[in-house]
Chain A
Amino acid sequence: MHSLHLKKITLLMLAMIVITFTIPGKSGARELDEVLKAGKLRHLGIVYANFITKEKSGLDVELMQLFAEHLGVKYEFVETDWQNVVADLTGKIVRPQGEDIEISGESHPVRGDVIATGFTILPWREKIVTFSETTFPTGIWLLARADSALQPIAPTGEIQKDVDLVKQGLTGVSVLGLKDSCLDPNLYALNGTGATIETFPANRDLNEMIPAVMARITDTTLMDVPVALIALEKWPGEIKVIGPVSPDQGMACAFAKTSPQLSQAFATFFKELKNSGRYKQLVEKYYPSLFIYYPQFLMD
């Protein structure tokens, strides 16, 4: 009798295991209906400049809160980091290989429905996520200490020429970057410039890259324009901008490839937000000087 009972239990467990592994489950970010059903929008973000501040406010936080309100669901902030942000959205561990990606077989739990964190649109990222239209213009500048021998370039008026001028002066200069992010030196063909590429530890706060330059840990650092502008205000006379290392870029919200409806819903929402002028007010709130450099942004 006892053994029969035991057999039954064992069989039940095996069946459950089989079901678990054989019946294909729903992996990846949720679609719109699931978000609506769940009644909650999970916002993946990294504390980064004024996109997401330490206080968990910022441009992207307010943007996502408005989107959740638009959907009629609650808002939830899910903190992540640059290493795991894509995996947190897609459930897949992805590593960039130039402009291409490498997806590892390991699975990763999906923790969010949308990435909005000053997320630069990069070619490799576009292969794994669906970006919304540009929510923020950007670019990558090379920053150095004020007393650096490296001199800022004289702008030519053409961004690519300016990039070339910058690269020309990088011989023997250490350049700090952050792998797998928009500040990844590999993205900007710096390897052939004679510069010494240094990688900022992934587990460190990106905001510490510039202080690292000031601390003479490195000669220069790559930095996106919004953060560079803030840094220039924060440390006047201590750092200087050498010039651009990338053409103009854009930041946007990222959705999983498996969430087209959610992506579409955001597109609709964002269009309304832009047309009403509220988005511009939001941008000016957190980046008042943005439109000095990108006067055409939001002009369409």
Chain B
Amino acid sequence: MSFTDILLLMFGAILVENFIFAKFYGCCPFLGVSDKPDTALGMGMAVTFVMTLSGAATWAVYHFLLEPFGLEYLKTVAFILVIAALVQFIEMFLRKFIPALYASLGIYLPLITTNCAVLSAALLAIQNEYSFIAAVSFGFASALGFTLAIVVFAGVRGKMEFSEPPRAFQGFPITLIAAGLLAMAFAGFAGIKL
């Protein structure tokens, strides 16, 4: 896989195949942690951090442990285990050595343990038979797409604070409608074939 291929892969993962708007992965944090742009950015950074590392870890586990024993069918279970352990480990590591990063990412890290976006990034990298470099860049780019979506949506929700939708739409319903409209905007990228 050449450098250009990897760049195209990353571009596709950020915009065309955006995790939230095109694939509907990670909708829970997308709706739950998008109240304010700064918390949304914190969540996005934590996801980026974990997704990139878990992309590398799961690739290694799959190719060095599961494949030699012919246990490819166990990848979902094994990856959940790897990601959960990895997130716990990262949390402890950051708390000890990089307290500043822990203070900004800390509360979001445990939320990511069971985030389906992280798991699906790992599974898709295996399914598409990516090389190690491609798998890591795919995880990183997918997470960037997630960050872009959640931060943009937090901006939209900030504007909605001051509007008064009809009573039946107040709160969560109007949030879902706004998310749908934003997804339609991202659908414009769907025509781009890389």
Q: Do A and B bind each other?
A: no
Interface residues of chain A, those whose CB is within 8 Å of chain B, are none
